[in-house]
Amino acid sequence: MDRLTTFAGARVRPLSLLGQWEALGRPLRMLGKVPALIALLLALAALGYSAVSTQHFDQVKQARAADLAKKRAAGRQGDLALYQRINARVAGGENYYTVATDEQRRNHYPTRPFVTVRTPTMALSAAVLGMRGWHWLGLILLAGTAGAWLSKLWDRTLALEKAAVFGLVIAAGWHATLPLIGLKHDIVAGLLLSLAFALHRPDRWWPSWIAVALALAVRELAFPFVLVWAMVTLVDRRWGEFRAVLALIVLFVVGYTLHAWAVQAAQLPNDPMSPGWTERLGLPLVWGSLADVTPMRPWPAWLTGPLALLPLLGWLGLGGRTGLFGVLYYGGMTVAIAIFARANTFYWVMVMLPAYFVGLALAPRALADLALAVLGRPARQRWGLVGQRLSEV
């Protein structure tokens, strides 16, 4: 009988493509000598490129600082001050869309296209929770996310890796400890997505569904996560979960369409237009930004570039559905930000945090697996039966 099958009572059902991938265990360890050598050399070349190219991120930061100084001279006080004024007026009973477009217009922020105006979720929640309530919620989200990742990878990591996973989630998510976390949409969305990723199990996906729905309500940049999730569930033939994800997509499209109509109704003909998202600043922007928003900020670029790239290798080396999802989502977001982000929208990378850096805790094992594969050490095959526990999604 073919080993790539599962038993289900008297029936024999072939594994899905993702099931076959998961059955491989740690995929880098399964490579032959020549493919492993090529992969190792490519990884080292990419790390070298990141070390050199990220040093040019300083030029991007200087351009961003000059643009910020120009805007401050024109009267713009900054994003946090803008959101504080919007929240205060909404808490006072004014209509969110009237307030948001008015404040952005007064402070020389674009209101066109409609995506330049945030959804009302954070402002409405701030009217209920206040900044103190959001501060506590941010701490709870960060602690819960770190604990959830520790639980998810507990059976698949060594003691040192466990400590690194927990510590890196806390370090990469340190913004959640700030008193003004309730004004930071991208950070909140990133925390919710990181929690959703950690909570997901094949037989218990609804907590993740709720967390992702909340992330979408906060920031539309959470949508790529949903697209990857839909693709994975479709390929894996998990039809009930796939229908639930499709329902989430429909809800988002309807909700965001209503948001667009509300913004357009509040716009004026002479409202400022966004300069667009076509700067194509490349991968150094992503790696430099990841360092800039984490405790790595004061470190030299030749070090932070590779440290910002290594998590992708760690996700690939983890294997299983979890590792594959990490590679697809974080790799896709890396490319999208490299193409579309401007110098002053570097904060988009926060949607990937803090879970992205879980991959950094797994990077040493990935490099070790490649080295062992190059040396030709034998690897164990892993084949799964229903009831056996393989790696979790």
What would the pLDDT profile of 352-388 be if each residue is shown by its tens digit?
Answer: 999 999 999 999 999 999 999 999 875 554 433 333 3
How far is it, in rounded angstroms, from Cα 190 to Cα 193?
A: 5
Q: What is the pTM of this model?
A: 0.90
What backbone torsions phi and psi does residue 13 show, to the nearest 5 degrees?
-120, 125
pLDDT of the residue at 332: 97
pLDDT of the residue at 234: 95
pLDDT of the residue at 18: 76
Domain ranges in the chain?
Answer: 49-62+83-266+277-375
How far is it, in rounded angstroms, from Cα 203 to Cα 33?
A: 37
Cβ-proximal residues to 53 (8 Å cutoff; 6+ apart), any chain? 282, 283, 284, 287, 305
pLDDT of the residue at 76: 61
> pLDDT (tens digit, 9 = 90+) per residue, 129-148?
999 999 999 999 999 999 99
> pLDDT (tens digit, 9 = 90+) per residue, 31-88?
999 999 999 999 999 999 999 999 888 777 776 666 666 666 665 678 999 999 999 9
For the record, the structure tokens of 47 come out as 């790390």
